[in-house]
Structure 1
């Protein structure tokens, strides 16, 4: 804030530690030209991220070219000079009032106000050592839902993330405390934010799981929320659903069923948020954009409110979130997804595997023949392009390989459609085994 003010900009600092979606909201609410959030997000405690949002015509979306390259060039000039103290600083920045937070609370509570008489929901919440709890709690009250039972060990901000190896709900073990709490209180479901609260995880009871609970995949949550948005948007001219190219093709089926437009984008909400006519967007990495009129980025808090709305409606029909997933498959088709992630210490390993797949392309995964292969480094005009390999299999399944954009990982995304949920899941299991075998051979 001192550096921005020293550069002659009118600078507004948010009043305290707040979720990233509040910053994204504030850019539009205050009609700012740009917004910056510094956050470790869901990464290890030694990491920090620098997220930049643009106002005006960009409507509060994250930066894309050419702004990203221009910012990087400025960073490099400062780094080369090796003397940050030489930059002018000023303490003449402003501190935003609580009115900004109150406006976000009101707008987000309006995403899914609780049905009259909603009192029977029993749910557990964890902030994963981040900043989500204070804001979420206010919104839950404003929207009329019962407060959750919380994971107290993870409720307050703690930059060491002391109870988890990685503060990412996708990582093994990250939700163990939530599951233990949910078992004790016999909860109906668990909601978890990552530390900066722009992602949301949902878990439900599952007698077949070792712990008795199962975290829903990002695709399952995305399709539940996508169907919710699609039902509300029927008859709206130009309304569209959007997801990243590695997310479930089920969203396209939802859009087609309701007569809506559909857009497939590169990974990242900087692309999803710019889809024309957007009413809902998601990516499988637990990111959901449910309220594009107020936040043009993934927002784990507004997504939580939308899930509470679905759960309350289901509760009134004596159903659970698991029952809603069954209804989803019966209505739009049975989709299943899986992911194989390989974390590396040496990034050159990822480059080597991608080069191997390009120079010696596979012809099948296990017993599943590849019908077509696309290298998105050479995508056609108007198509998403990037360091991505996409394989379409003869049985209609899909496999996508790409380096992670935020972590030292090679990621493989697997999607299948079947006559039943069990059949789709079985195909994904077979393909996961085949992918691991192939990566072992190529690493």
Structure 2
């Protein structure tokens, strides 16, 4: 479609005027390639043109989803549509619902901005053919996105994403796509989600919780779930509680970013909390803060991942572990594999992202005959109740984290004490991540090409072997893994382009064999990890 045709058929006069005002160079750049399906859907800046999130793109994407569902013999089935509170989300969700309704689907358009896990739950709970959530998760305020679930509330994978993308390319002009009004509904599903998420508790007892939803949509739902689970002593960051698409108090609305949790940790210290919880803006990710000898700090995603995995496995009914699967991704720590083995469960390592983790008990990547009970990724994503939500869910993870703190306190220990105990059993594992911002995907691809052509043989004094995950048997991904071992210390580095942001990401892990000298081993591993950081920053 030419720029003139796009402008003529853009149903939004604001974005049509925006595109009409571009000069020839900007038109060429913006029309060079349409917005591509990445992590389970679309994500990009809210602005005009085919390479961004706007009404025209959303209409064409929804038409494409309808075509693919029909091709897969799901015509007339139910589709759930939800949204967060970002700029454009309400209009985009309405347009999505209207296109699908006009295509003959029974559309359940959830009322009000709601967390992404509620949509994943609703798809599974209702037996819907698909779910669509308008969200850009933890991306900057200028962005929005279009997340697609099929297969019982699981993020789409190939070839479905490619089929939708191909259908988008063949879609009619946006203003010619039929639409039919859809009233909001499905309010009872939120109540059912709240009741189910509260049930992940395994223990009893109270804890004092400090909580922030970082201006996102998770605040009210998280408080309701925590109270339903029996946690009533909840303190929230007032300036960050209500949804605000501009995210005024944080530079990036991502709990992992430096400074994003400062207000939360200050509140936790002020109210003498037992645990601090930060949700990302669509509440599918959860960061945990704890108080130690040096004051409050946020746990790494891997630390929380180990703790929740070990806790869940320790609470399984007798005999269930043998048929249980836990999963972590290739960029996450490898300690969960040892934790699973100790409990008699099976561990599956998947590619990056919950579209793979959620399938860890399904062929061809999963272990047939076993049931997924837990999955995590180092980027503070946790699936703690896969039977209800086959995706990361920051709210149910928050309930389980609070439950863990209560159980540890009654045992006379703490989160830090439990981390030390895990290190004694399974060895010290020190992890870190280094992100390099790039101008665009082309720059990230150039770095990956260079590393493939001349992979480093030494990293921080360790001889390393390179494994290209783009050229292996089974599912592949654009990533390189470097591993090495010397004098009882193992190093591991995975580098890949981000699927949602203009970044090149390096994941580092240094491990040492189990020992009672946790402090000494941790210090030595930390020194090696710092040297690895210096090495990968030079890439």
**Residue 95 of structure 1 aligns with which residue?**
184
CA distance in 2, matches of 1:399, 1:112: 35
**Residue 433 of structure 1 aligns with which residue?**
531
Unaligned runs of 5+ in 2: 1-96, 362-370
Q: How far apart are residue 94 of structure 1 and its match?
A: 4.6
CA distance in 2, matches of 1:344, 1:10: 42
- 1:241 touches 1:260 (CA, 8 Å); kept in 2? yes
Q: How far apart are residue 352 of structure 1 and its match?
A: 2.1
Indicate the SS of the match to 1:222: helix
**Residue 504 of structure 2 aligns with which residue?**
410
Larger radius of gyration, structure 1 or 2?
2
Determine which of 225, 248, 256 is the counterpart of 2:308.
225
Q: How far apart are residue 377 of structure 1 and its match?
A: 1.3
- 1:369 touches 1:393 (CA, 8 Å); kept in 2? yes
CA distance in 2, matches of 1:133, 1:321: 24
For CA contacts below 8 A with separation 6 or more, give which structure has more relative contact order.
Answer: 1
- Corresponding position: 1:17 with 2:113: yes
- 1:198 touches 1:299 (CA, 8 Å); kept in 2? yes
CA distance in 1, matches of 2:410, 2:114: 33
Report the number of matched residues: 425
**Residue 402 of structure 2 aligns with which residue?**
308
**Residue 262 of structure 1 aligns with which residue?**
347
**Residue 279 of structure 2 aligns with which residue?**
193
**Residue 175 of structure 1 aligns with which residue?**
261
- 1:329 touches 1:421 (CA, 8 Å); kept in 2? no
Q: How far apart are residue 366 of structure 1 and its match?
A: 1.9
Determine which of 71, 83, 106 is the counterpart of 2:195.
106
- 2:327 touches 2:360 (CA, 8 Å); kept in 1? yes
CA distance in 2, matches of 1:356, 1:431: 23
**Residue 385 of structure 1 aligns with which residue?**
476
CA distance in 2, matches of 1:63, 1:136: 26
Indicate the SS of the match to 1:173: coil
Q: How far apart are residue 422 of structure 1 and its match?
A: 4.6
Q: How far apart are residue 183 of structure 1 and its match?
A: 2.0
Q: How far apart are residue 99 of structure 1 and its match?
A: 1.6
TM-score (norm 2): 0.76
Equivalences for residues 73-152 of structure 1 within 5 A: 73-78=166-171, 81=172, 83-91=173-181, 93-112=182-201, 115=204, 118-119=205-206, 121-152=207-238
Indicate the SS of the match to 1:423: helix
- 2:279 touches 2:285 (CA, 8 Å); kept in 1? yes
CA distance in 1, matches of 2:535, 2:491: 18
Q: Structure 1's 114 and 157: CA in aligned 2 closer, same or farther, altered over 3 A?
A: farther
Determine which of 152, 156, 171 is the counterpart of 2:242.
156
Indicate the SS of the match to 1:205: strand
- 1:365 touches 1:431 (CA, 8 Å); kept in 2? no
- Deviations 1:354-385 (CA, angstroms, capped at 9, x unpaired): 12211111111121221x220111112x3x42
Q: Structure 1's 438 and 155: CA in aligned 2 closer, same or farther, altered over 3 A?
A: closer
TM-score (norm 1): 0.92
Q: How far apart are residue 113 of structure 1 and its match?
A: 5.6
- Deviations 1:337-363 (CA, angstroms, capped at 9, x unpaired): 111111122433322221221111111
- Corresponding position: 1:7 with 2:97: no
- 2:470 touches 2:478 (CA, 8 Å); kept in 1? yes
- Deviations 1:82-105 (CA, angstroms, capped at 9, x unpaired): x312110101x3532432111111
- Deviations 1:22-54 (CA, angstroms, capped at 9, x unpaired): 000000111110000011210001111211111
Q: How far apart are residue 4 of structure 1 and its match?
A: 1.1
Which shifted more, 336-345 or 300-309? 336-345
Q: How far apart are residue 428 of structure 1 and its match?
A: 4.2
CA distance in 2, matches of 1:293, 1:317: 29
- 2:479 touches 2:494 (CA, 8 Å); kept in 1? yes
CA distance in 2, matches of 1:89, 1:175: 42
Which shifted more, 248-257 or 412-421? 412-421
Indicate the SS of the match to 1:220: helix
- 2:326 touches 2:347 (CA, 8 Å); kept in 1? yes
CA distance in 1, matches of 2:239, 2:523: 35
Which shifted more, 94-103 or 287-296? 94-103
Unaligned runs of 5+ in 1: none
